[in-house]
Amino acid sequence: MAPRNSSRNLRVLLDMDGVLADFEGQFLKRFREKYPHDPFVPLDERSGFYVTKQYYALGQDIGTKAFGIYEEKGFFLDLQPIDGAIEAAREMAEMEGVDVYICTSPIKKYTHCVVEKYQWLDKHLGKEWMERMILTRDKTVINGDLLIDDKPNITGGMNPPKWQHVLFTSYHNRDVVLQDGQIRLDGWLPHSRWRDILEQKRQEISEQ
């Protein structure tokens, strides 16, 4: 990247589930293992951010079972990293003039979720990343320049938020039309444009 001209660092917020960790794949795997005879939603048929909404459409009992999957102990800890995510996060954190934080929302039934998010971060990125963790139910109040997140519509107490939303492509949002100001990022693997997105934002900041 080009030398930084701005007087402050670029602040990047990384969502965890669906951006760094494979929530969708883990959910489907767990559901089919626990309920092998029940109907399910294949990944290529996922639509809408909330997976349980599609499962409730299959029946009230199916939706209730789906809710229970990600409330179980070990669900969040056992999520597999999305391809290239760990390498991208580490590279991003080492860039001069870039501050990286993990910005993630715990589920309301947080008994296992909160501690397992910290454990997952420790397991895959190391203890030094504990200081980068931001847990919040409202991401709009968090100060940042870019939020990389798979949720298409992020609302909260601050409208508009200070960050620009980079929509990370997932099975459930592939057909979502971008809103004004949003950018789409199709994964972390080689030839991903995440570096270009950061550089463009840094240039914008330097010109302010």
For the chain, domain boundaries? 10-22+80-206, 24-69
Rounded Cα distance, 91 and 52, in Å: 34
Q: In terms of CATH architecture, what is 10-22+80-206? A: 3-Layer(aba) Sandwich (3.40)
Q: What is the pLDDT of residue 177?
A: 97
The helix or strand, by DSSP H or E, that contains position 10, with its residue range, turns out to be strand 10-14
Q: 17, 22, 145, 149: which is the annotated catalytic residue?
A: 17
pLDDT one digit per residue (tens) for the chain, 208 residues: 444 444 789 999 999 999 999 999 999 999 999 999 999 999 999 999 999 999 999 999 999 999 999 999 999 999 999 999 999 999 999 999 999 999 999 999 889 999 999 999 999 999 999 999 999 999 999 999 999 999 999 999 999 999 999 999 999 999 999 999 999 999 999 888 999 999 999 999 888 7
Per-residue tokens: 104: 């993630």
Q: Among positive and negative, which fits the CA dihedral 22, 24, 30, 32?
A: negative
Q: 15, 22, 145, 150: which is the annotated catalytic residue?
A: 15
Rounded Cα distance, 103 and 111, in Å: 19
Strand order in the sheet with 10-14: 133-135, 98-104, 10-14, 146-149, 164-168, 183-185
What residues contact 135, with CB distance under 8 A and at least 6 apart?
Answer: 104, 105, 106, 114, 117
Straight-line distance from the first to the last Cα atom of the chain, in angstroms, rounded to the nearest whole number: 19
Domain 24-69 is found in CATH 1.10.40.40: yes
- Closest CA relative to residue 81, chosen from 164, 21, 127, 38: 21
138 is catalytic: no
Q: What is the pLDDT of residue 208?
A: 78
**What DSSP string describes 112-176?**
THHHHHHHHHHHHH-GGGGGGEEE-S-GGGS--SEEEES-S----SSSS-SSEEEEE--GGGTTP
44 is catalytic: no
